[in-house]
Amino acid sequence: MTAAQRSTADFKRELIGVIPQLRAFARGLCGRSELADDLVQETLLKAWAARDRFEPGTSIRAWTFVILRNVYLSGLRRARFQGDYDEVAAERILSAPAEQEAPLHLADLHRALMTLAPERREALLLIGAGGFSYEEAAAIAGCAVGTIKSRVGRARAQLATMIDNGTVERRSKRDPVANAAIMAELQRATRRR
Amino acid sequence: MHSDPTDRCDAGSAPSAGVEPEPAKAARATAGRRQANAVIAPPAWAKDLRLLFDKVVEEPLPACFIELLSRLDADG
Q: Domain of A41: which CATH number?
A: 1.10.1740.10
User: What is the residue range of A18's domain?
Assistant: 6-77
Domain closes at, from A77, A95, A129 = A77
* Closest chain B C-alpha to A183 CA, distance in angstroms: 25
Whether A169 maps to a domain, the answer reads yes
What average pLDDT does range A147-158 have in this prediction?
93
Phi, psi of A99 (to 5 degrees): -70, -15
pTM: 0.68
Query: What is the per-residue pLDDT across A87-126, written as a single tens digit (0 to 9) for each?
Result: 444 444 434 443 344 445 677 788 888 888 889 999 999 9
What average pLDDT does range A17-25 have in this prediction?
96
Name the closest residue on chain A to residue B66, using Cα atoms: A16
Name the closest residue on chain B to residue A156, using Cα atoms: B46
User: Which has the higher per-residue pLDDT, B26 or B33?
Assistant: B26
pLDDT of amino acid A57: 87
Position B26 confidence tier, pLDDT thresholds 50, 70, 90: low
Whether A152 maps to a domain, the answer reads yes
Alpha helices for chain A (secondary structure H): 3-30, 33-49, 60-77, 87-94, 103-115, 118-124, 134-141, 145-165, 176-191
pLDDT of amino acid A135: 95
Query: What is the per-residue pLDDT across A33-52, written as a single tens digit (0 to 9) for each?
Result: 888 999 999 999 999 999 99
Q: Which residues of A164-193 are buried (b: 16+ CB within 10 A; e: fewer)?
A: eeeebeebbeeeeebbeebbeebeebeeee
Domain closes at, from A40, A59, A77 = A77
CB contact under 8 A, A109 and B52: yes
In chain B, domain spans? 5-75
**Residue A109 with chain B: CB contacts under 8 Å:** 45, 48-49, 52
**Residue A17 with chain B: CB contacts under 8 Å:** none
Q: Is the pLDDT of residue A155 over 80?
A: yes
pLDDT of amino acid A54: 93
Domain closes at, from A77, A96, A131 = A77
Q: Does B29 touch chain A (CB under 8 A)?
A: no
Residue A110 burial (CB < 10 Å; 0-12/13-18/19+)? buried
Whether A180 maps to a domain, the answer reads yes
**Residue A25 with chain B: CB contacts under 8 Å:** 53
How many domains is chain A built from? 2
Whether A18 maps to a domain, the answer reads yes
Is A141 strand, coil or helix?
helix
Closest among A145, A152, A168 to A119, alpha carbons compared: A152
ipTM comes to 0.72
